[in-house]
Amino acid sequence: MKPFGYLRATSVEEAVRAAAGRPGARFLGGGTNLVDLMKLGVEAPPLLIDVTRLPLADIEELPDGGLRIGAMVRNSDLAAAVAVRERYPVLSQALLAGASGQLRNTATTGGNLLQRTRCLYFQDTTKPCNKRSPGTGCPARDGVHRDLAVLGHSAHCVATQPSDLAVALAALDAEVQLHGPDGERTVAVTDFHRLPGDRPEQDTVIRPGELLTAVRLPPAAPGARSRYRKARDRASFAFALASVAAVLEVRDGVVGRAALAFGGLAHRPWRARAAEEVLHGAPATEDTFARAADAELAAARPLRDNAFKVELARNLAVSVLTGLASPAADR
């Protein structure tokens, strides 16, 4: 690890100012990903700006009935918050499906959304990687890519965004609040993470020096149920091969509100708009759910060794939606 300076920020403004004055500086949250990447040599910031003591660790009720989640709220606290468990179960479930108890106690809301891909080549500085060193190539495309993208990838990058939280937030129409040198702005979570295109080094639309300060959840849809389900290689403490976050409202056997997002399939949480178009106003049957999943996954372009993820994602979506549509038979 290269030596670095350390600043414990006492205000958002101070943190943002310090970042603006030091190119390459990084904000330090829980550090569960950043410190690891520094050990691996993937990250070598000249300065760490510790934002964990900023007053961003609260979950607040919003006047419109939504929630504002401070960026420094720990993953375990967010998953346990009564308001989240009761009104946004998909969010609590997504968090609890990720990492380990130790990591969830440390990792923050903002850091979770900004975590980097776990693509093996990205994490190995002896290998080329367009995300880590633009222009060096992507060995994953023809190499080890069983865990990697089937949707939205490019010739330059086939990485996946590993966050479970981001998938639930995408289905919930959440927004992130960013505070930068030019002031504050709000970005929908579905627009926050990018597809790799020809700039895979850019995971998100965050600008240099911007600090993610909060996530805003709109009011929970009345009458809707929600669920997160994740398929992985072992029962616990593993990244998703595929995951599904769903919010579903059924009235008189017909789908009302429906929001669906996939995780583990792309460089960003994949909001399934084509599937939602099929779902809206259709009978809430397994046949509808299968047609919806197929409509979305028709866009999949699997690599040599990861075509199984397409069927996995389809089956997850159908089973989650079917369960949500029939509360009596569910659980």
List interacting residues with other proteins (CB under 8 A): 1, 3-8, 14, 17-18, 21-22, 25, 28, 31-32, 35-36, 39, 46-50, 52, 76-77, 79-82, 85-86, 89, 92-93, 96-97, 99-103, 105-106, 235-237, 331
Q: Which is nearer to other proteins, 86 or 198 (CB)?
A: 86
Longest dimension (CA), the chain: 63
Report the alpha-carbon distance of residue 72 to residue 144 in Å, rounded. 34
The DSSP symbol for 94 reads: H
Q: Which is nearer to other proteins, 28 or 242 (CB)?
A: 28
| Shortest distance (Å) from residue 7 CB to other proteins | 5
Q: Which is nearer to other proteins, 192 or 228 (CB)?
A: 228
Q: C-alpha distances in angstroms, 166 versus 66, 95, 187, 229? A: 17, 9, 13, 13
| Shortest distance (Å) from residue 18 CB to other proteins | 5
- Burial of 225-249, coded b for 16+ CB within 10 Å and e otherwise, reads bbbbbbbbeeeeeebbbbbbbbbbb
| Shortest distance (Å) from residue 173 CB to other proteins | 21
| Shortest distance (Å) from residue 137 CB to other proteins | 25
Q: Which is nearer to other proteins, 298 or 328 (CB)?
A: 328
Q: Are the C-beta atoms of 266 and 313 separated by less than 8 Å?
A: no
How many residues does the structure list for the chain? 331
| Shortest distance (Å) from residue 250 CB to other proteins | 18
How close are the terminal C-alpha atoms of the chain, in Å? 48
| Shortest distance (Å) from residue 305 CB to other proteins | 23
- Burial of 60-99, coded b for 16+ CB within 10 Å and e otherwise, reads eeeeeebbbbbbbbbbbbbbebebbeebbbbbbbbbbbbb
- CA quadruple 10, 11, 17, 19: dihedral positive or negative? positive
| Shortest distance (Å) from residue 224 CB to other proteins | 14
For 320, the 3-state DSSP assignment is helix
Q: Which is nearer to other proteins, 17 or 185 (CB)?
A: 17
Q: Which is nearer to other proteins, 239 or 262 (CB)?
A: 239
| Shortest distance (Å) from residue 98 CB to other proteins | 9
Q: Which is nearer to other proteins, 52 or 160 (CB)?
A: 52
User: Tokens for 78?
Assistant: 């967010």
For 19, the 3-state DSSP assignment is helix
Residue with tokens 């390459």: 24
Q: Which is nearer to other proteins, 75 or 130 (CB)?
A: 75
For 157, the 3-state DSSP assignment is strand
